[in-house]
Amino acid sequence: MRFQPRLMSTLDELFARLREATAPAEIEALQDGIWQIWLMAGHPKLDKHLEAGMRALAAGDYTLAIQEFTVLVESSPSYAEGWNKRATAYYMRGEYRASLDDVRQTLRLEPRHFGALSGKATMLLHLGDAAGALRALQQLERLCPNWPGLQTRLRDLGDQLDENSW
């Protein structure tokens, strides 16, 4: 799903401001604004599945969440947040490979998806791919260099990779 031109313009502006933001409260507020746009499925039927999946996710019913988000991605395969939510449900269920597949689709549709990039880095670390995790964090850094804790994560991961190269 492509957003209306007005929403795309707002999204682009929020991302531009996010790159420049330095205060944690400002970063959080900008991210919240971006999430508000991303969570617009664009049709009442799609919104229903998104909401049901999010309720199931919050309740820890990952199987139901995956079912709801699957309906969403099958009904609207160009809606990046549907893929991201299903990736989250797979992640919560410990299915990292399935989650990574959905993260890849999310990032194909919305390369600036900071939630997907952060999740990708975490999963790649779980799977032993520190170099891949570092690349995901570097992409995140291009979006928001002052993301709280990001510079520490980048430094620690870089140090870990340097130690392992000996």
Give the side-chain half-sphere CA count within 13 A for 123.
24
Alpha-carbon gap, residue 21 to 120, rounded angstroms: 23
- Predicted TM-score (pTM) of the model is 0.90
Distance of CA 117 to the CA centre of its chain: 5
pLDDT at 3 over 70: no
- Residue 75's pLDDT band, with cuts at 50, 70 and 90, is very high
- Token pair belonging to 98: 């399935």
State the pLDDT at residue 99. 97
Average confidence score pLDDT of the chain: 93
| 40: helix, strand or coil | coil
Q: 97-146: per-residue pLDDT in tens?
A: 999 999 999 999 999 999 999 999 999 999 999 999 999 999 999 999 99
DSSP for residue 144: -
State the pLDDT at residue 93. 95
Domain residue extents for the chain:
1-40, 43-110
Give the side-chain half-sphere CA count within 13 A for 55.
7
Which CATH architecture is the domain 43-110 placed in? Alpha Horseshoe (1.25)
